[in-house]
Amino acid sequence: MNALKNPPGVKTTGMWLFVLSDLLTFATLLVIYTALRIANPDWPRPFTLSPAIVYATIMTVVLLASSLTMVWAVAAMAEDDRKNTVKWLLATIAGGIAFIALHLTEWRHLVLEDKITASTGLFGAVFFGVTGLHMLHVACGAVYLSILTAGVARGKFSAEDIETGGLYWHFVDLVWMFIFPLVYLMAVKP
Amino acid sequence: MTYVKVWIGLVALTLVEAGLAWIRTAPTLMLALLLVLSLIKAALIAWWFMHLRTHRPKPLTVLIPMLFVFVGLLLSLLPDGIRAGAMR
Amino acid sequence: MIIFSIDHKVIGKQYIGLALFSVVLGTLLSLIMRFHLVYPDAKVRLFQAMWPDGAPGGQMTPELYLSLMTMHGTIMVFFVLTTAPQSGFGNYFLPLQIGAHDMAFPVLNMLSFWTTALSLLTLLAAFFVEGGAPLSGWTAYPPLSGLGRITGPGEGLGQDLWILSIALFCVASLMAAINFIATIIELRAPGMGYFDMPLTCWGWFVTALISLFAFAVLLAGGILLLLDRTAGTSFFIPGGLIVNDQVQSRSGGSPILFQHLFWFFGHPEVYIAILPGMGLISTVLSVFSGKKVFGYKAMAIALVSIGGLGFVVWGHHMFISGMSPYSSIAFSVLTLAVGVPSAVKTFNWLATLWGGRLRFTAAMHYALGFVSLFITGGITGLVLGQPGLDVYFHDTYFVVAHFHLIMGVAAIFAIFAAFHYWFPLMYGRFLNERLGKVHFFLTFLGVYAVFVPLHFAGFVGNPRRYPDFKEYEFLKSVMPLHIGVTHAAYFLGAVQLIFLFNYFWSQRHGAIAPANPWNAATREWRND
């Protein structure tokens, strides 16, 4: 429709704006968590070191690893190496799916074994609220990257598109860097 | 290769965080340490993985500090949290 | 593909159409409310036909009144004041004014409009579900809004739909904000610096920045409130709550936290409504004075500082909520500080007029009306910014009068000015000038006749959100005042038909406009 196209960098700017806005949404949730926790001195701390924290650490490493493959995908696309881009993108999506699978297993364990759900108290509310929103972001990211992968394989999309997708994926990773210590580590059994 | 080094650093910091929980650091000290470590990790991701180091859209120099200001403003909710606890 | 168009002009017009539909609906709701306040015992067959549960036998229930109030506020704030000046006119004229070929992300732009439309439909659906529309006002404070059906008829599915609608609106506004900011930062014509942009663009820019962060916080609040309602969490539900003689089992949350989150968004939202208008008025005043805007740079900086201060004054909505009194002092001082950039703007508008060769077109009339309303409504803001006075005034009609004048009517006047000013570009024809001026004078008279008396009702301590005053001895004295206000509101509502007629008639039959009919200097009038 428009003969004129945007100069390079516009998409990156747009994605950064989204990232900043969404970071504030997550920050708000974490601030609410903090305020509620201050208001409730008897805040439960149900996590055991093993398996709960070990498990969560593995999840963190998996997510970090998917960020690393994403960086390689972006780098490959910058050199117009579509074959390797697709390879690393697929690896990233696999990492994301693995993270979700691990996460759901953990949720299942909490609900079935520890009898903690969103409605059993504020700990469950915060835990499932915050990690649920994050998991939604990972799932959206997996869909987003799948669309990119399919496009790259068919010769569509530019290096900037992959860079933009990478920004989103790293942002999801970055948010987890705050959720892991605040939601998990600060709730280890004393 | 730099990316791998950064990644190793991130994993190492994660293990340090988990280690803090392992040795049962006192909660307040642990919170402070965790926040510092998390900020370092976030900065590493933003600086290297999100390419802030090489490609920095101009508005970010203003908007990123703004984000910190907003989070700081939100922290003004905490005193009311303390009072809510006292009223319980 | 005219419906899912990705052309910024079409999307702008779609937004304006959506806002026009909403404003008609919102106005009708307010007229019904005004009628009920004066004739609380009237049995109206129409009400029964429209709301069989809310008005059995035609007699309106207090719950129905509250739900009308909620819908009036929500529709007006979100779907009129937020969409028309920013997304409507902004979409249409921002790319033209900065010399861009379109918005930065046309598809995102289309999506953002249709998400807004979906959000409006979701909101309106609340009227038709069991229990009807929610009762909790546009602020939706918990616990009233957090517990579900037990707190009132509209608090079941109606409130769920309301929250869903607002969450969708948040998403749509984030998309729009990203688009506006990216466009202004990246797509300005070569050589155009930030301080070369027209003040209208500054208004849209600052508004978009506010949206980007304010809606993010509201989104978080909305998500948590929705979880409270659907997942049984208790973020905002305190312990030991008794509703309708039933003890609620949930505990640990704090309703004050929601108020903080809401007003962290809510106060900037007020500026989202008014800042685009301020930018536009600066342009219109300067064009029809035949002078440059007085103190351009000060005007731009004032816009930025109003936007910035907007984020640090939210506590003045909560002076009576049980907030820490020390915070109240800080919020009060900061609130009064907003008066400084506002005064800079007002005096610069007056100085722009000074010594100019004024042309009293219809658009100029509305611009002058805007300045008048801005001062009237702004002065009472200084009154309400002081905790000592606010404690008395907060839940009275004084606040209603204040925010309707400054946030509602002033912003609407800016929209009228925008229609008259830009109509030649949008449709190639003029809006009828004479009808415009008649409409201006009648509307100007009408709004002051409606809202000035409400200040006095506030002095008496007349509480707002009450559906029926006749039970209260001390309100007997203000009933004549309310009867006057209601009739003024009928008059004001009827007068708007002139504008609607003018708007639709002039699209086909208005006088043909030449290129740049107003001798404006900004880029959108250039023929290239």
pLDDT tens readout for residues B14-68: 999 999 999 988 989 999 999 999 999 999 999 999 999 888 887 888 899 999 9
Domain residue limits at C229: 8-238+252-522
**pLDDT at residue number C527:** 65
**pLDDT at residue number A3:** 43
CA nearest neighbour of C524 among C241, C204, C218, C261: C204
Please give the residue of chain C at the shortest CA–CA distance from B59: C185
- Could you tell me the pLDDT band of residue A150, with boundaries at 50, 70 and 90? very high
- Could you tell me the pLDDT band of residue A2, with boundaries at 50, 70 and 90? very low
Domain of A112, CATH number, reads 1.20.120.80
**pLDDT at residue number A4:** 58
In a 10 Å sphere around its CB, with 0-12 CB exposed, 13-18 middle and 19+ buried, how is residue C24 labelled? Answer: middle
Q: Among positive and negative, which fits the CA dihedral C451, C453, C456, C461? A: negative
Number of structural domains in chain C: 1
Residue B73 in contact with partner chain C when CB distance is under 8 A? yes
Cβ neighbors of A105 (< 8 A, separation 6 or more) are: none
Number of structural domains in chain A: 1
Location of structure tokens 């009920």 = C36
Query: What is the arithmetic mean of pLDDT over A15-32?
Result: 96
Query: What is the arithmetic mean of pLDDT over B70-79?
Result: 87
Q: Residue C246 falls within a domain, yes or no? A: no
Q: Residue C176 falls within a domain, yes or no? A: yes
pLDDT tens per residue, range C93-129: 999 999 999 999 999 999 999 999 999 999 999 999 9
- With a pLDDT cut of 90, the percent of chain C lying above it is 89
Q: Residue A155 falls within a domain, yes or no? A: yes
Please give the residue of chain A at the shortest CA–CA distance from B31: A186
C431-450 burial, b for 16+ CB within 10 Å, e for fewer? bbbebbbbbbebbbebbbbb
The CA distance from B53 to the nearest CA of chain C, in Å, is 20
Structure tokens at C493: 């509502």
Q: Residue A4 falls within a domain, yes or no? A: no
Taking CB atoms and an 8 Å limit, are C327 and B79 in contact across chains? yes
The CA distance from B49 to the nearest CA of chain A, in Å, is 6
Query: Does residue B85 register a pLDDT over 50?
Result: yes
pLDDT tens per residue, range A100-124: 999 999 999 999 988 888 888 889 9
Taking CB atoms and an 8 Å limit, are A6 and C104 in contact across chains? yes
Domain residue limits at A183: 10-187
Q: Report phi then psi at C396, rounded to 5.
A: -115, 175
- Walk along chain C (528 residues) and give the pLDDT tens digit of each residue: 678 899 999 999 999 999 999 999 999 999 999 999 999 999 999 999 999 889 999 999 999 999 999 999 999 999 999 999 999 999 999 999 999 999 999 999 999 999 999 999 999 999 999 889 999 999 999 999 999 889 988 999 999 999 999 999 999 999 999 999 999 999 999 999 999 999 999 999 999 999 999 999 999 999 999 999 999 898 999 888 898 888 888 888 888 899 999 999 999 999 999 999 999 999 999 999 999 999 999 999 999 999 999 999 999 999 998 787 888 899 999 999 999 999 999 999 999 999 999 999 999 999 999 999 999 999 999 999 999 999 999 999 999 999 999 999 999 999 999 999 999 999 999 999 999 999 999 999 999 999 999 999 999 999 999 999 988 999 999 999 999 999 999 999 999 999 999 999 999 999 999 989 999 989 999 865
**pLDDT at residue number C24:** 97
CB atoms closer than 10 angstroms to residue C45? 10
Q: With a CB-CB cutoff of 8 Å, which residues 130-169 of chain A face chain B? A: 163, 166-167
C-alpha gyration radius of chain A: 19
**pLDDT at residue number C355:** 92
Q: What is the mean pLDDT of chain A?
A: 93
**pLDDT at residue number A190:** 84
- With a pLDDT cut of 90, the percent of chain A lying above it is 81
**pLDDT at residue number A1:** 38
pLDDT tens per residue, range C408-432: 999 999 999 999 999 999 999 999 9
Chain B residue numbers with beta carbons less than 8 Å from the beta carbon of C267 are none
C164-195 burial, b for 16+ CB within 10 Å, e for fewer? bbbbbbbbbbbbbbbbbbbbbbbbbeeebeee
Taking CB atoms and an 8 Å limit, are C104 and A14 in contact across chains? yes
**pLDDT at residue number A9:** 85
Q: Residue C271 falls within a domain, yes or no? A: yes
Residue A121 in contact with partner chain C when CB distance is under 8 A? yes
C-alpha count within 13 angstroms, C-beta hemisphere, residue C103:
35
Domain of C186, CATH number, reads 1.20.210.10
The answer to whether C109 and C48 are in contact (CB under 8 A) is: no
CA nearest neighbour of A186 among A63, A37, A24: A37
The answer to whether C381 and C402 are in contact (CB under 8 A) is: yes
- Preceding amide of A51 cis, omega within 30: yes
